[in-house]
Amino acid sequence: MDTMSAYLRGQISRGRELMVFDWDRAARRIKEVHPKSASAGLAGDWEWTGGEIYRDGKPIPQEETYTYLASTWAKPQLEMDSQIEYCYKMQSETPDWDAKTYFPQSALDILKGVGK
């Protein structure tokens, strides 16, 4: 998506609640599917927001990837082995998570098999 279109969508949706990437759901899905690779990004804007988050059985260190995973207009998505699904919560459900959140402890626990 071009910069002007993204800007206009942001202006139109100003005041709406943020949709944030659901790291816990992503961790559960990764455990279920066992993908070789998983990525996360915003629908319609992957070029600027998406990045690989999981490869070969473990999370990619945050400093080795880039993601921006919250928006008022673009729904966060999880991609595993070329299959894409929506994967988000409203920020009011997870007030400590935002666009910069990356594998919070709860998601890491799920991947390790010690969380819900």
- What is the per-residue pLDDT for 105? 96
Residue 24 is which amino acid? Answer: D
- Does residue 108 sit within a domain? yes
- What is the per-residue pLDDT for 114? 86
Q: Within its chain, how far is the Cα of 89 from the centroid?
A: 10
Query: Domain range holding 56?
Result: 20-112
- Does residue 13 sit within a domain? no
- Does residue 70 sit within a domain? yes
* CA distances in angstroms from 34 to 4, 57, 95, 111, listed in the order given: 38, 8, 29, 10
Contact (Cβ atoms closer than 8 angstroms) between residue 100 and residue 50: no
- Does residue 24 sit within a domain? yes
- Does residue 7 sit within a domain? no
- Does residue 101 sit within a domain? yes
- What is the per-residue pLDDT for 95? 92
Weakly modelled stretches of the chain, pLDDT under 70: 1-14, 115
- Does residue 26 sit within a domain? yes
- Does residue 8 sit within a domain? no
Q: How many domains does the chain have?
A: 1
In tens, the pLDDT along 14-40 reads 678 999 999 999 999 999 999 999 999
- What is the per-residue pLDDT for 3? 58
Residues 6+ apart with CB under 8 A from 50: 39, 40, 41, 42, 67, 79
